[in-house]
A and B are shown apart, each in its own frame.
Chain A
Amino acid sequence: MSSWLVRGVVLTAAIVLASAWASGWQRFTWGARFGTFGSAVAVLGAGLVWRHHQQWARAPGRHGAAPLPAVNRAGAVAWLAVVLVAAGWDVLGLLTPPNRHHLTLSAMELAYRPLHALLFACWLAIGWVLASEPTRRHGPSRP
């Protein structure tokens, strides 16, 4: 079994376990606060360590900066469209009259424990991407 596969399995198992653990938290408790921000610190720390190890494997771009990935515009628009539809739904859900169920993300994850766990896993994955992807640093000006 390749090391990449082992790492993927371990990471997935850790996220699943953490998400199942998180689904039992009660809001406004110290357990939820420590659990949330402890998980955030762990994910950000692991992502930064991963980035540090990976930066030597990447080919340097112009002026020594990390090369920018090629992003297909139509693909980027697809990501943006999904995010905008979700954001629009959430804003409209906030304005739902008080005597009706609010269909916002936070209201739904409160109502459904499995969604809470799934959302927590997605949140951890987003944190991993934010921490592990390289940032650009401005190199010396072009001669």
Chain B
Amino acid sequence: MNSPSRLGPVFDVGARSLSVVIGSNKLVGLAFWLAVIAALGALEAFSHLSRWPVPSAGDMVARYLGHPVVRAGAVALWLFAGYHLFSH
């Protein structure tokens, strides 16, 4: 249980702290990831539906991932994420 990771004591302390604080309840994990998805969806909705000056995801991509090489890297990362999450 207390086996050290290869990433160093800082990460070990962080992981143990997380385990202590939230336990390892799968429902907590599910709630966290649903909250993340809801937060991202809310930001996107605010950008389109409100006067609150939040950029949309498209604005962020066009502004910060506009260079073709950077965009290609982002697409490669997106493909790897799909491979890792859905087929690997």
Chain A interface helix/strand/loop/mixed: helix
Interface size on A, residues (CB 8 A): 67
Residue of B nearest to A123 (CB): B82
Residues of chain B with a CB closer than 8 A to A78's CB: 43, 54
Q: Is B45 an interface residue (CB 8 A)?
A: no
Residues of chain B with a CB closer than 8 A to A115's CB: 30, 33-34
Interface size on B, residues (CB 8 A): 58
Residue of B nearest to A72 (CB): B53
Task: Indicate with 1 or 0, residue by residue over A69-97, a CB within 8 angstroms of chain B CB atoms.
Answer: 11110111011001001100101111111
Query: Which residues of A are interface residues toward B (Cβ below 8 A)?
Result: 22, 25, 27-29, 32-33, 35-37, 39-40, 44, 66, 68-72, 74-76, 78-79, 82, 85-86, 89, 91-109, 111-112, 115-116, 118-120, 122-123, 126-127, 129-137
